[in-house]
Structure 1
Amino acid sequence: MCIDSFEKQDRLPIEKVFKDPVHDYIHVRHKLILDLIDTKEFQRLRRIKQLGTAQFTFHGAEHSRFSHSLGVYELSRRIVDMFERNYPDDWDCSMRLVTLCAALLHDVGHGPFSHTFEKIFNTDHESLTTDIILSEGTEVNTILKRVSHDFPNQVASVITKQHPNPQVVQLISSQIDADRMDYLQRDAFFTGATYGAFDLSRILRVIRPYKDGIAFQYQGMHAVEDYIVSRFQMYMQVYFHPASRGMEVTLDRLLYRAKQLYKEQELYPAFDLLDPFFEENPTLDDYLKLDDGVLQTAIILWTESDDAYLSELSKMFLHRKPLKSVTYIDGKDDDVVETLRDIVGHLTYDKNLYTMTNSSSDLPYDYKLKNKTPIHLMQSDGTLVELSKVSSIVKTLSGNLHGDHRLYVPKEFLEEHSDNINMFQEEYDAFQRHIVNGAIIHPNETD
Structure 2
Amino acid sequence: MNKRKKARKEPRASTAHPSAHAAEVKSPAQPLAHSSQIRMIIPGGLVYQLPLPSGVPPYDRPRRAHLHVLKEASVLASIPRSELSAIIASLAATYARAAYHESRFFELRRELDKRRENMPGEILWDNLIEYVHFELQAFAGASRMLLDELVYLIARRHGIPSNRAKKKPWETSDLVQRSRAAECDVQEVRLLASKASWFGTLNAYRNSFFHHGWRHGSGHFPLDDVRPTAASPVSNGLLVPDKASLGGRSKPFEWTWTQKVTVDDVAREIRVGTEEFLTGLLESLWSTPPPPPGSAPLSEYPNLLVVLAKPAFIETPRAIYLPFFSSRDRGLAFQLFAKDPRLELVDVPVSSAVIGQRALTVSLSGLEKNEIYPGVEFVEAVLDPEASGGWVNVQAAARIRIPLRELWAAKVHCPVSIPVSDLERAWVWRSSLMRDWDA
TM-score computed with the length of structure 1 as normaliser: 0.24
Q: Which has the larger Rg?
A: 2
Which structure has more relative contact order (CA 8 Å, sep 6+)? It is 2
Higher helix share: 1
TM-score computed with the length of structure 2 as normaliser: 0.24
